[in-house]
Amino acid sequence: MKKLFLGTILLALAIVVPIPAMAEVNVNVSVDFPLPPPIPFPGPPDVIAMPDTNDVYVAPSIGVDLFFWNGWWWRPWEGRWYRSRYYDRGWAFHNKVPSFYFDVDPGWRAHYRDHNWNGQPWSYERITNQRLEQNWKSWHTNRYWEKQGTWGVKGYQPRPQQQRQELRNQRQQQYQQRPEVQRHLQQMQEKQKQHHGQNPQKKQREEESGHR
């Protein structure tokens, strides 16, 4: 009886424990997009806070765009977006453009190089990775950058809300016109067609629910 009881427990553990790992694998397989190549880091990257954004940080010393926002590291690659809790590993495909991205000035690298933000001297603050990890939550909760208000830009004047929204719309349109983004959108459409072709019953159910 004891052997039967122990055998039942072991069987239950064997079934239950792998479920999260299996679910993660199934998600990755269903997406079927390659992961971006690793970024070589000599050490944990410093970041700077981006002006005119809501708690967006960028690593300026590497050759590809690498952002930190809302507790995640974000990077675009071949028209797709990936995110991870770590700056150097653990990337996973993210099925939409993160909402912060269209607040980021596309010319930020030139501004960074020239220490100049839209015509004003920019004395940005370099933030170590350790300090970022320790403080980003409290900075967000206490609205640190919003209260500080200038991001180190001398004579900073915030743009009116309407102008900010117009800039967001303009950047979004420009982003969607990039060749790599167009290719990704085309790939997504092809995958959706293949998915519906392999699941005609599901497609029929979706069409029927749409007519209700």
Q: How far apart are CA 103 and CA 116, in angstroms?
A: 18
Convert the pLDDT of each residue in 31-57 to its tens digit. Answer: 578 999 999 999 999 999 999 999 999
3-state secondary structure of 101: helix
Q: Beta-carbon neighbour count of residue 76 at 10 Å?
A: 22
- Given a cut of 90, whether residue 139 has pLDDT beyond it is yes
Find where tokens 């690298």 sit: 109
Q: CB–CB of 93/12 below 8 Å?
A: no
Convert the pLDDT of each residue in 50-98 to its tens digit. Answer: 999 999 999 999 999 999 999 999 999 999 999 999 999 999 999 999 9
Going through 62-183 in order, the beta strands assigned E by DSSP cover 67-69, 72-77, 80-84, 92-94, 116-117, 120-121
How much is the average pLDDT of 147-171? 91
Question: In the prediction, which pLDDT does 147 show?
Answer: 84
**Rg of the chain on CA atoms, in Å:** 23
3-state secondary structure of 153: strand
Helices then strands, each counted (H, E), the chain: 8, 8
State both tokens at 158.
């915030």
CA geometry: angle 144, 175, 110, nearest 5 deg: 60
Question: In the prediction, which pLDDT does 208 show?
Answer: 55
Max Cα distance, the chain (Å): 81
Kindly indicate the confidence band of residue 204, based on its pLDDT and cuts at 50, 70 and 90: low
In the chain, pLDDT over 70 holds for what percent of residues?
77
